[in-house]
């Protein structure tokens, strides 16, 4: 499986802004002042500028106030809820169809509204107020448990009964192509040594996907598994970077802190659940049977093919993992139901991440910790070098797509380069 880097065949959503163009004759040059973020949707190699369409008379039938489509992030739109956003998506599908003359034959509007993707600077889709990271891949949890405990006790007693999660740091969620410096912190050079301070020696990626929420219920009310998908807007690729040695020293008793909060990278394009409808698949049999509030009906998992590439500073690309979103044990409906069962409220634009996605074969593991098995089995790259963990100058690229019966939906990619510690 190879996923083309320019694979964007669905109509997802993202705030973007236009690059400052040096060519005064460029067709979009005349409306670039001032340059601001705006909401867009992606078709092929083109970004459709909803700010521009909202200023025309083509969007008046969808029931969403014009000013909502002129915002700089998706938060106001997500407050509208699933039904209005579904109407917006359907209207855009009509406008962008080849046999619809409303936009096709309006040359002036098309010049403004259809922007080459290469001229767009991508941003995080929403202003994330709260971010939760789950731990929902059974194989990943088993692998980590084997490394740090033993196979007989790999899964902790609660793992098969609830979707384990923790509250992450929203301020350090970064857009694709935003690079970051290797984090520093305390770690133990060996089990018997005293802790030292310095740059992490075990920097890792985590192959994940994240979903953005619509506005939830008021504080004190819960969202059931039956209601959950009406509160989920869509999915994006997510790389939750991890400093394994810092995390290993700090996590007892309260869990991840500095080993996780320095950076998390997210892809720009958010694919709606409506678009993913043809790719629903059954989930695993959950044994022991979960409590009633976590039980669900129908297919709540999705067949989304994923890959991870390491691009070295010398320019060599190696695919190090091929996995699939369907490998999760706990699905999104269960995650949201568990998150709110105590009355916790979620807000429009909140982000929930899946946790590392690992399949049941070594080539489908979703982190260097697993691929190199805690550094004991170095991963060989195509340029002849090896990696136990990530080195300065490495770029990690994650890509994803769905494909079935001639229908292909692309998630694009999320990439970031590791810079030296400061």
Q: What angle do CA 229, 217, 127 make, to 5 degrees?
A: 80
- State the catalytic residue, choosing from 8, 42, 123, 140: 140
Quick one: pLDDT band at residue 353, thresholds 50, 70, 90?
Answer: very high
Residue written as token pair 């994803």:
400
- Residue bearing the bigger pLDDT, 150 or 205: 205
pLDDT band at 7 (very low <50, low <70, confident <90, very high): very low
Per-residue pLDDT tens for 207-255? 999 999 999 999 999 999 999 999 999 999 999 999 999 999 999 999 9
Q: Give yes or no for residue 25 having a pLDDT over 70.
A: no
Among 2-11, 33-42, 319-328, top mean pLDDT goes to 319-328
In the annotation, is 123 catalytic?
A: no
Domain locations in the chain as residue ranges: 13-122, 131-419
Per-residue model confidence (pLDDT) at position 18 = 65
Instruction: Report the greatest alpha carbon distance in the chain.
Output: 73
Choice between 42 and 312, residue whose per-residue pLDDT is larger: 312
Q: What is the model's pTM?
A: 0.92
**Confidence check: pLDDT of 30 > 80:** no
- Percentage, residues of the chain above pLDDT 90: 87
CATH number of this structure's domain 131-419, picked from the four choices 2.60.40.3080, 3.90.850.10, 3.40.47.10, 3.40.640.10: 3.90.850.10
Radius of gyration over every alpha carbon of the chain, rounded to an integer in angstroms: 22
Is residue 381's pLDDT more than 90? yes
Class of domain 13-122: mainly beta
Mean pLDDT within 315-319: 96
Residue 220, both tokens: 């004190």
Tell me what the mean pLDDT of segment 249-275 comes to.
96
Q: How many CB atoms lie under 10 A from the CB of residue 252?
A: 7
Answer yes or no: is pLDDT of 27 > 80.
no
């Amino acid at each position: 499986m190879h996923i083309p880097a320019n694979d964007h065949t669905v109509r997802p959503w993202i705030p973007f802004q236009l690059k400052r163009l040096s060519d005064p004759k460029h067709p979009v040059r005349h409306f670039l002042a001032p340059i601001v973020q705006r909401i867009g949707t992606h078709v092929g190699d083109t970004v459709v500028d909803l700010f521009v369409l909202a200023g025309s008379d083509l969007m008046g039938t969808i029931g969403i106030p014009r000013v909502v489509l002129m915002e700089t992030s998706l938060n106001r739109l997500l407050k509208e809820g699933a039904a209005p956003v579904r109407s917006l998506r359907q209207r855009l599908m009509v406008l962008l169809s080849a046999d619809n003359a409303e936009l096709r034959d309006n040359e002036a509007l098309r010049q403004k509204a259809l922007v080459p993707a290469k001229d767009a600077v991508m941003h995080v889709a929403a202003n994330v107020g709260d971010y939760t990271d789950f731990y929902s891949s059974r194989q990943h949890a088993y692998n980590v448990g084997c490394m740090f405990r033993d196979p007989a006790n790999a899964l902790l007693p609660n793992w098969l009964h609830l979707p384990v999660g923790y509250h992450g740091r929203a301020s350090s969620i970064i857009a694709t192509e935003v690079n970051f410096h290797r984090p520093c912190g305390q770690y133990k050079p060996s089990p018997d040594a005293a802790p030292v301070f310095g740059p992490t020696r075990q920097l890792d990626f985590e192959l994940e996907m994240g979903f953005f929420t619509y506005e939830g219920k008021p504080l004190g009310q819960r969202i059931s598994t039956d209601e959950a998908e009406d509160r989920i807007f869509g999915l994006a690729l997510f790389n939750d970077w991890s400093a394994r040695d810092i995390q290993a020293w700090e996590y007892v008793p309260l869990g991840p802190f500095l080993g996780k909060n320095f950076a998390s990278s997210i892809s720009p394009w958010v694919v709606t659940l409506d678009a993913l409808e043809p790719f629903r698949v059954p989930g695993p049999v959950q044994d022991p049977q979960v409590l009633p509030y976590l039980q669900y009906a129908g297919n709540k998992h999705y067949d989304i093919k994923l890959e991870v590439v390491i691009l070295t500073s010398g320019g060599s690309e190696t695919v190090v993992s091929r996995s699939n979103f369907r490998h999760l044990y706990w699905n999104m409906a269960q995650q949201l139901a568990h998150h709110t069962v105590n009355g916790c409220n979620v807000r429009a634009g909140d982000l929930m991440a899946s946790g590392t996605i690992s399949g049941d074969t070594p080539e489908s593991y979703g982190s260097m910790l697993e691929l190199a098995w805690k550094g004991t089995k170095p991963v060989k790259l195509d340029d002849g070098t090896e990696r136990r963990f990530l080195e300065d100058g490495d770029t990690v690229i994650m890509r994803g797509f769905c494909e079935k019966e001639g229908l292909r939906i692309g998630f694009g990619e999320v990439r970031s380069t590791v810079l030296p510690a400061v």
